[in-house]
Amino acid sequence: MNLTVNGESRGFDGAPNVAALVEALGLDVRKVAVERNLEIVPRSAYAATNLSDGDRIEIVHFIGGG
Partner 1 sequence: MDGSVHTEDTWTVAGRTFRSRLIVGTGKYKDYAENAAAAEAAGAEIVTVALRRVNLSDPNQPMLVDYVKPDRFTFLPNTAGCYTGEDAVRLLRLAREAGGWDLVKLEVLSNTKHLLPDMEETLRALKLLVADGFQVMVYCSDDPVYAKKLEDAGAVAIMPLGAPIGSGRGIQNLLNLGLIVEQSTVPVLVDAGVGTASDAAVAMEIGCDAVLMNTAIAEARDPIRMARAMKHAVIAGREAFLAGRMPKRMYADPSSPLTGLI
Q: Which residues bind partner 1 (CB under 8 A)?
A: 5-8, 25-28, 31-35, 38, 40-43, 58-66
Q: Toward partner 1, which CB reaches closer, 8 or 13?
A: 8
Q: Toward partner 1, which CB reaches closer, 39 or 53?
A: 39
Least separation in angstroms between CB 59 and partner 1: 5
Alpha-carbon distance of 35 to 29, in angstroms, equals: 13
Q: Please name the residues in contact with 28: beta carbons below 8 A apart, sequence gap of 6 or more.
A: none
Burial label for 7, CB within 10 Å (0-12, 13-18, 19+), is exposed
Least separation in angstroms between CB 11 and partner 1: 14
